[in-house]
């Protein structure tokens, strides 16, 4: 039996995705292509009659705008919205603002992939006076300073995301709502790892494409009825996930 439905949506292409820069907590906007991906994501929701009752987003512009554009296209612009820093992208530490291709050339394939995809190796921390640091950003003013990341590995993201999952998203699902989560490549990898119980090793191979809704029907124990969920456009998702995996090359 299905207790509720979860729809995961990575934001559309951002300015820094297009420029091939590590983004993390830097608050970049969507490109025009990214806006169109978000609208297309909303059209897919409408075509599949998968209409969200509530939306949860990170506190970053690219996820917030993606949710708004998608919901607008699905005629669900009016639903309740909640946001949390716990859905933010992984903090990319000192790599924030660096070019992925140059980083690959400078540090080599092994180190580059450790930083991008290993479960527990974080990049070096970002300095507080770095131009791409978020220290002093008013949206984190109420965040206790010991929770403010200077870098994160995926394991760190799982640990800071799960309290929000259990306290805020799960109650919506158990209430029978269709829940949209608009977030990021790595914060959604963290959630998928938890839902599908993917091992620390296997999660390295999982990539989330931009703008294509991923549907999970959950049983009363919050286990997916279909492992891995179902992309609303599976062919496009496969091609786009491969492109994410090859970024930098």
- Nearer residue to ligand DG2 within complex by CB, 81 or 97: 97
Report d(CA 18, CA 29) in Å as an integer. 11
Report d(CA 39, CA 44) in Å as an integer. 9
- Nearer residue to ligand DG2 within complex by CB, 17 or 118: 17
Residue 35 appears among annotated catalytic residues? no
- Nearer residue to ligand DG2 within complex by CB, 132 or 216: 132
Report d(CA 44, CA 50) in Å as an integer. 8
Q: Residue 57 corresponds to which tokens in the numbers above?
A: 């987003």
The single residue of 37, 89, 152, 184 carrying the catalytic annotation is 89
CB 184 within 8 A of CB 88: yes
Nearest approach, Cβ of 157 to ligand DG2 (angstroms)?
Answer: 11
118 in helix, strand or coil? coil
Report d(CA 50, CA 178) in Å as an integer. 8
- Nearer residue to ligand DG2 within complex by CB, 3 or 248: 248
Nearest approach, Cβ of 219 to ligand DG2 (angstroms)?
Answer: 28
Q: Residue 210 corresponds to which tokens in the numbers above?
A: 């931009």
Residue 56 appears among annotated catalytic residues? no
- Chain residues binding ligand DG2 by CB under 6 A are 10, 14, 17, 22-24, 89, 92, 116, 184-186, 244, 247
Cα distance from N-terminal residue to C-terminal residue, the chain: 44
Report d(CA 216, CA 222) in Å as an integer. 10
Nearest approach, Cβ of 125 to ligand DG2 (angstroms)?
Answer: 16
Give catalytic residues, as residue numbers: 11, 89
């Amino acid at each position: 039996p299905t207790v509720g439905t979860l729809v995961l949506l990575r934001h559309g292409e951002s300015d820094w995705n297009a420029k091939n820069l590590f983004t993390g907590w830097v608050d970049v906007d969507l490109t025009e292509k990214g806006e169109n991906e978000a609208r297309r994501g909303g059209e897919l929701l409408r075509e599949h009659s998968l209409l969200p009752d509530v939306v949860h987003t990170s506190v970053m512009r690219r996820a917030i705008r993606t949710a708004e554009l998608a919901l607008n296209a699905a005629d669900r612009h009016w639903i309740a919205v909640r946001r949390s820093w716990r859905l933010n992208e992984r903090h990319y530490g000192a790599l924030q603002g660096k070019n992925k291709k140059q980083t690959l050339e400078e540090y080599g394939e092994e180190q580059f992939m450790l930083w991008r995809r290993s479960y527990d190796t974080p990049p070096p921390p970002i300095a507080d006076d770095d131009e791409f640091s978020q220290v002093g950003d008013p949206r984190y003013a109420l965040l206790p300073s010991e929770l403010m990341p200077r870098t994160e590995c995926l394991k760190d993201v799982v640990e800071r995301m799960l309290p929000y999952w259990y306290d805020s998203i799960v109650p919506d699902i158990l209430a029978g709502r269709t829940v949209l989560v608009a977030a990021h490549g790595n914060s959604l990898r963290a959630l998928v790892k938890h839902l599908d119980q993917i091992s620390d090793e296997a999660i390295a191979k999982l990539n989330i494409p931009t703008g294509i809704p991923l549907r999970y029907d959950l049983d009363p124990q919050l286990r997916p009825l279909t492992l891995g969920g179902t992309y609303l456009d599976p062919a496009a998702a496969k091609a786009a996930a491969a492109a994410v995996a090859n970024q930098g090359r």
